[in-house]
Amino acid sequence: MARRVHIVGGGLAGLSAAVEIAGSGQHVIVHEAGPACGGRARSYEDRKLGRRIDNGNHLLLTANEAVFRYLGLVGAHDTLTGPDRPIFPFVDLAETGRWTLDLSMGRIPWWTLSPERRVPGMRLSELASLNRLMKAGREQTVAECLSHGAFSRRLLEPFSIAALNTMSDEASAALLGYVVRESLAKGGRACLPRFPKIGLSESLVDPALAHLDVLKAEVRTGNRVTAIDVADGRVTALRFPDDVIDVGDDDAVILAVPAQVASSLLRDVVPDFDAPDRFESILNAHFRLDRSPVALGSLGEAGFIGVIGAVTEWVFLKNDIVSVTVSAANRYADRDPEELTAVIWNEVRRALDAMLEMPLPLQPAGTRLVWEKRATFAATPDQLRRRPEARTSLANLALAGDWTATQLPATIDGAIRSGVAAVKALGLRGPYSESSARR
């Protein structure tokens, strides 16, 4: 058993690893470079809006087993909310149409036979796209597997962009096929939408930190690792701007940092180290209103809506904040931010007004554009080949992060899964492992 476990990075991958082993008799230390943990899934006080907001929107599904296991371990299951049915409201601003995708609870897709529950204009023959995705080869793109028609344009392409954060003409069909097998193919019970009642930190970060505190794990923020010393096939020290921590023979290290940071730390000490090096951005636009809008119908039930034929892709209602997510946002990098914000707000009004008790104002009370430039790796076949396994050539070092070989895209579920994989790769035993449970 390791005497100390150093976890470098306090995002969800690092927190997942820490939660997995805290309380097992090992001294767990989380080193987070920033002032707060959570990485790309956290909440913060925004001075411009005068509100606490999430730095991004994340829609979870009940298929995300790693997330719900993690929430169970830290006692945060009840911090999520969502509709009791697998429903997804949509509006098409290009072709003017509204509908609610209403999936069947079981595996048999009865919803495809009901015009009121399926994508308007879809042909049943288009369902073959799902089969092609699930059987796709490693080099195929999503676009190569999709049939032309409403089902692809109004569901599969938006689903692909949201899940992979990469445009379908470049995105890996095999990766999306795995997501389909784990969600749509399992039926509506695996596709119930879930999101935080309050915020990402209140659901995913704060409960984990409280859990780690009770179990005497250390979390050190503002603690950036600048270099890693290696000798005889092991990590021997972690270097910080003003300190050096020796890593003993019985110690272990989990590197849970972004791909580009891992590359800078390991390229000179791990032979042939490889990691994704192309990235896609995500744009989030937050609009504050003078009063909370009252949503009607399926929008009121779900709390969000998907938007087709626009810059805007997903709109979430969070009390008096209307929050918009745009994935694969590199394509908008040259747009003027003020012009882009105005376009998005106009689209939001067109998308929501018919589903609100009162129309939205011509101008919001406040706006904030948050552009995550390197939100995820580009989910292309080439970049997938660069994803490393958790185990490394160094005996006491493992990798964690949504960019590692989790089989999933760069998602919350993938990040949490990677933390567990890193613990297993080092042969560490946590209090929740099967071997620990049998003792």
- Residue 318 phi/psi, 5-degree rounding, is -130, 80
Q: Which residues contact 236 (CB under 8 A, 6 or more apart)?
A: 229, 230, 246, 247
What is the C-alpha to C-alpha distance for residues 356 and 89, in angstroms, rounded to an integer? 13
- Cβ atoms of 165 and 379 closer than 8 Å: yes
Q: Provide the 3-class DSSP secondary structure of residue 268.
A: coil
Amino acid 436: pLDDT = 43
- Residue 340 phi/psi, 5-degree rounding, is -65, -40
Hey, where are the domains in the chain?
A: 4-35+221-277+380-438, 45-63+76-82+193-197+279-377, 121-190
Amino acid 176: pLDDT = 98
Closest among 351, 418, 415 to 58, alpha carbons compared: 415
What is the C-alpha to C-alpha distance for residues 276 and 374, in angstroms, rounded to an integer? 11
Token reading at 14: 């690092």
- CATH architecture label of 4-35+221-277+380-438: 3-Layer(bba) Sandwich (3.50)
What is the C-alpha to C-alpha distance for residues 334 and 281, in angstroms, rounded to an integer? 13
Q: Which amino acid is at 399?
A: L
How far is the CA of 360 from the CAs of 93, 140, 322, in angstroms? 17, 43, 10
At 396-405, the pLDDT tens digits run: 999 999 999 9
At 295-323, the pLDDT tens digits run: 999 999 999 999 999 999 999 999 999 99
Radius of gyration of the chain (CA): 22
Closest among 37, 72, 43 to 56, alpha carbons compared: 43
Whole-prediction pTM value? Answer: 0.94
What is the C-alpha to C-alpha distance for residues 212 and 28, in angstroms, rounded to an integer? 9
Amino acid 432: pLDDT = 74
DSSP calls for 214-263 = HTT-EEESS----EEEEETTEEEEEEETTEEEE--TT-EEEE-S-HHHHH
Amino acid 438: pLDDT = 39
Kindly tell me the burial class for residue 102, based on how many C-beta atoms sit within 10 Å of its own C-beta (0-12, 13-18, 19 or more): middle
Per-residue pLDDT of the chain (439 residues; tens, 9 = 90+): 568 999 999 999 999 999 999 998 999 999 999 999 999 899 999 999 999 999 889 999 999 999 999 999 999 999 999 999 999 999 999 998 999 999 999 999 999 999 999 999 999 999 999 999 999 999 999 999 999 999 999 999 999 999 999 999 999 999 999 999 999 999 999 999 999 999 999 999 999 999 999 999 999 999 999 999 999 999 999 999 999 999 999 999 999 999 999 999 999 999 889 999 999 999 999 999 999 999 999 999 999 999 999 999 999 999 999 999 999 999 999 999 999 999 999 999 999 999 999 999 999 999 999 999 999 999 999 999 999 999 999 999 999 999 999 999 999 999 999 999 999 999 998 787 654 443 3
Amino acid 2: pLDDT = 63
What is the C-alpha to C-alpha distance for residues 381 and 409, in angstroms, rounded to an integer? 12
Type and span of the H or E element at 238: strand 234-240
Amino acid 430: pLDDT = 77
What is the C-alpha to C-alpha distance for residues 275 and 258, in angstroms, rounded to an integer? 10
